[in-house]
Amino acid sequence: MCLLVGMWFFTGVVMMYVSFPELTNEEYYAGLSNIEPGNITVGPETFLKKFPDKSSLGRLTLTTVATRPIYLTKHSDYSWQGMYADNGKPLENITATQAIESAQVFYQNQHPEKVYRAQYQAQIDMDQWSLSSALNSHRPLHLVSIKDRAHTQLYISSKTGQVVRDTTRAERMWNWVGSNLHWFYPLTLRKHGALWANTIIVLSLIGLLLIITGAIVGLQLLRLKRRYKNNEITPYRGVSKYHHILGLVMVVFLFTYMFSGLMSMNPWGLFDAKFRFDEQVQRYEQDGSLSQPKWSYNNVQEIQKLLAKSGETKQLTWHWIRGKSYLTGQSTPNNTTIYSRENTKKKFLSREIEFAVENLIPDAEIASNQQLNQYDAYYYSHHKRFHPLPILRVKFNDTESTWFHIDLKTGVVIERKTLKDRVQRWLYNGLHSLDFPILIQHRPLWDVIVISLCTIGLFFSITSIVIGWRRVKKQGRKKANKPIPSSRPSV
């Protein structure tokens, strides 16, 4: 356990600067090709005719795979359906050749000044860098290597042909001494979700028990008034003395660090919500009903005109507010244009959002609305996590004291925060990562404090290792020197 806790402090510092591999919003849009108006020969209405029950469909997206435009939608059962917008042919499972082309174009868009060859590696279900459950609907995955200096590897969905994850050699190397150790992420364990979660929970509970019992013993042996010989407050010398004093000084941080790690696992479902988020969003989008509203901008001519007018668009997404269809075009995460047959003026959209939010929780009243133009303690960006601004925060007085965050540029519901979510935010992110606004908004203050605490924690763990090792050696010598009893019977 001393080695384990020391490892958690060391790897925590690594994770401050190298996150587990993922495809960020910026990387995703940088790798997409522009949607060319002349390549659109089939409108979304042709694609939608294939689905009599449109209520099972999620949002419809027009994007590109390699250089080809494609309509994509995900069903309520998380399966993907697609159709190429240049010839109307249905999307089928992606082959190795198509995966290579997708990877090559994606990388070339990100690095237009470089020309590197893509090489197919294998089709995999899961490996060390594709453990995320967010990739489940895309499995199996095609793994393609780019012969560049960074030794980039791209993961391509066999269901849609999209690049869904990227890694570099530096990321992979640092994660072996970062996230993989910190999270206990070896593939053989992590692919068994329940076993992995229970392993972390049990180890965290053992760690908490050791910290509590150590603090009790440390306090019992501490003398501030009737001191030991040489006016010492501790009976120990050398490494044991450092361990005793440092443990008492750091006991609060040690406890909160271990406790917050336990809270990150949502043990025993402590932070589970009562109601499904997707059903609440569906009521918001469809004016309280669960039937699919009418899709606007659903023919070829309208799509071509919008694309020609925008100049550069990499993705179009259909969504709804109060039963009215809207279309959002994006070329970067922050470059968003919204289209509607009704009205796209800011005041009109804000009014539509205000009417629609009542359907999120129809049985509860809205306690307050608040527009956020900058991040705060509950809505913020850290470690390259993209969160758009401005947003509307809607607070309900329901049994879960639910908050919703809505993008005011598009009207899309971004996330939900119940009271349990907000409590977990402080018990996990607050205590574990010290994600307090005053710190993360004033870096490198956050870096200095976190690194200092982790360094002291690591030093404390080293004293534990030394003391424990000495104890083991001492016990070993006692057993080695213990006389072996004679096998002959005594007279």
Q: pTM of the entire structure?
A: 0.90
As a whole-number percent, the residues of the chain with pLDDT over 90 amount to 77
pLDDT score of 386 = 86
According to the model, what pLDDT value does residue 291 have?
56
Quick one: three-class SS letters along the chain? CHHHHHHHHHHHHHHCCCCCCCCCHHHHHHHCCCCCHHHCCCCHHHHHCCCCCHHHEEEEEEEEECCEEEEEEEECCCCEEEEECCCCCECCCCCHHHHHHHHHHHHHHHCCCCCCCEEEEEEECCCCCCCCHHHHHHCCEEEEEECCCCCCEEEEECCCCCEEEEECHHHHHHHHCCHHHHCCCCHHHHCCHHHHHHHHHHHHHHHHHHHHHHHHHHHHHCCCCCCCHHHCCCCCCHHHHHHHHHHHHHHHHHHHHHHHHHHCCCHHHCCCCCCCHHHHHHHHHCCCCCCCCCCCCCCHHHHHHHHHHHCCCCEEEEEEECCEEEEEEEEECCEEEEEECCCCCHHHHHHHHHHHHHHCCCCCCEEEEEEECCCCCCCCCCCCCCCCCCEEEEEECCCCCCEEEEECCCCCEEEEECHHHHHHHHHHHHHHHCCCHHHHCCCCHHHHHHHHHHHHHHHHHHHHHHHHHHHHHHHHHHHHHCCCCCCCCCC
pLDDT in tens, 441-480: 898 999 999 999 999 999 999 999 999 999 999 888 877 7
Condensed to tens digits (0 to 9), the pLDDT of residues 179-232 reads 999 999 999 999 999 999 999 999 999 999 999 999 999 999 999 999 998 899
Most confident of 121-135, 305-319, 322-336: 121-135
